[in-house]
Amino acid sequence: MMKKIMCVLFAAIMIFSLSSCMAGNNRETESTDFRTETQTAETTESITARTTEEENASGTELALITVAGSMEDNPFNHGAWEGLKQYAAEHGVTAGHYQPKETTTASYLQAIAAAVDKNARLIVCPGSLFEDAVSQAQERYPDVKFILIDGVPVKTDESGETRTAVAANTYCIRYAEEQAGFLAGYAAVFEGYTKLGFIGGMKVPAVIRYGYGFVQGADYAAKELGIKNVSIKYNYTGSFEATLETQALAASWYQSGTELIFGCGGAVGSSCMAAAKAADAKVIGVDLDQSELSDTVLTSAMKELRIPVYDAVKAFYEGTFPGGTVQVFDVKNHSIGLTMDNSGFTKFTSEDYERICRVLQDKTVLPELVTDADSAEILPVEMVKIEEIVQ
């Protein structure tokens, strides 16, 4: 049942992804330091828009603000955009995409201000890097609704104490990425891989949870199967970009015997796929089903992004926006999982997958996964050897 539900949910994402990837008509943006793309009910073509009086007058009701990296290369941003785009197409409203050039709170706030100036009523910000910006923006624009994905607004008081501050106009969507990572690590070892790698992007909470879950899943499978020679190389690149440096790092791991790498964080996976292609090795995709991007993808550790965003936008227009709340999506509500139908598994079956998903939900069998360790090397594992690579 789990497999069928996941397949239905993610098939729609891939259909939208293909149509979006084929679109594109880019021009240099004028008068701002960010790019915008506009989606309306009449067209599915992405365009780069200029900031003009005419455009400001019409505006876009829905806005997505993202960090650096193209939409096509970043499955996390792409999933959120698909949720906005689907609602816009179905209900005749407009959705704009803004991409600041700099990864700073000031730059994020500038993009948010531009969206508000263009009459945005609801703004989606994917990623914990937006926590400070949304914390300020939710107070600055009380009539605008915000959806923060993978983060919670934070405030620092006069004593220096940091606390969460979710205003009534902000809804936070979080995911149990450690569960998706756990499933990926478990499946990899069950499939027979013993020399693994994890290359994360920026060391932000969601990426950390993916990685720590991956390690603990591999260890659980190793203990279950009695495998004593599982090792994991572990690294953060510090960026969500696809770079030659990341590709070279992955290539060096493959050359030294690594069989499979979990590339996690924006376009980092694209660099790992390129290296895997040259080495005839494997990768695990992230966030969305990335099997169509490369035949090196064994499976993808996925989280459902499109539907929660779509549902939140729908609630906004129906007057039931869940502001002031934080909702965690996990394996119980079928928002976390692996792609199975498009996987390259030959040993790890659908029955094995459904069984380990049940284990994840039974805390009497598997305690809470550790997500707050200072380093992957101090995770409570018994069978797996971790080598954290510091560049």
Is the domain of 87 the same as that of 171? yes
Number of structural domains in the chain: 2
**Position 176: which residue type?**
A
Is the domain of 294 the same as that of 375? yes
What is the predicted pLDDT for the residue at 48?
A: 30
User: What's the whole-model pTM score?
Assistant: 0.82
| Residues with Cβ within 8 Å of residue 45, at least 6 apart in sequence | 23, 24, 25
What is the predicted pLDDT for the residue at 189?
A: 99
Residue among 105, 142, 146 at smallest CA distance from 126: 146
**CA dist., res. 267 & res. 175, Å (int):** 19
What is the predicted pLDDT for the residue at 35?
A: 42
What is the predicted pLDDT for the residue at 51?
A: 30
What is the predicted pLDDT for the residue at 132?
A: 94
Widest pairwise Cα distance in the chain: 67
What is the predicted pLDDT for the residue at 204?
A: 92
The string of pLDDT tens digits covering residues 321-335 is 999 999 999 999 999
What percent of the chain lies above the pLDDT cut of 90?
Answer: 71
User: How many whole angstroms from its chain centre is CA 161?
Assistant: 29
Is the domain of 232 the same as that of 88? no
Residue 271: domain span: 178-302+345-388
The answer to the question of residue 222 being in a domain is: yes
Whether pLDDT at 30 is above 50? no
| Beta pairing class for 170-175 and 230-236 | unpaired
**CA dist., res. 108 & res. 130, Å (int):** 7
The answer to the question of residue 340 being in a domain is: no
The string of pLDDT tens digits covering residues 40-49 is 433 223 323 2
The string of pLDDT tens digits covering residues 121-177 is 999 999 999 999 999 999 999 999 999 999 999 887 778 788 889 999 999 999 999
What is the predicted pLDDT for the residue at 12?
A: 43
Is the domain of 183 the same as that of 215? yes
Rounded to 5°, angle at Cα 41 from 35 and 42: 95
The answer to the question of residue 337 being in a domain is: no
The answer to the question of residue 62 being in a domain is: yes
Q: Higher pLDDT residue, 261 or 77?
A: 261
What is the predicted pLDDT for the residue at 367?
A: 83
Q: Higher pLDDT residue, 139 or 6?
A: 139
What is the predicted pLDDT for the residue at 75?
A: 79
Is the domain of 225 the same as that of 255? yes
What is the predicted pLDDT for the residue at 73?
A: 60
User: How many whole angstroms from its chain centre is CA 174?
Assistant: 10
Residue among 209, 243, 214, 245 at smallest CA distance from 231: 214
The answer to the question of residue 335 being in a domain is: no
- Tell me the pLDDT band of 72, cut-offs 50, 70 and 90: low
Concatenating the DSSP letter of every residue in 323-347 gives TTEEEEE-GGGT-EEE--TT---SS
**What average pLDDT does the chain have?**
85
CATH number at residue 204: 3.40.50.2300
What is the predicted pLDDT for the residue at 95?
A: 95
The string of pLDDT tens digits covering residues 250-297 is 999 999 999 999 999 888 999 999 999 999 999 999 998 999 899 999
The answer to the question of residue 253 being in a domain is: yes
Q: H helices of 165-305, where?
A: 177-191, 205-225, 244-255, 268-279
The string of pLDDT tens digits covering residues 356-387 is 999 999 987 888 899 999 999 999 999 999 99
Whether pLDDT at 13 is above 60? no
Is the domain of 193 the same as that of 212? yes
What is the predicted pLDDT for the residue at 70?
A: 59
**CA dist., res. 188 & res. 194, Å (int):** 8
- Tell me the pLDDT band of 71, cut-offs 50, 70 and 90: low
Strands (E), 248-319: 260-264, 282-287, 297-303
Q: Which residue has the tokens 């064994």?
A: 298
Is the domain of 195 the same as that of 172? no
Token pair in block for residue 265: 């964080």
What is the predicted pLDDT for the residue at 162?
A: 80
Is the domain of 202 the same as that of 89? no
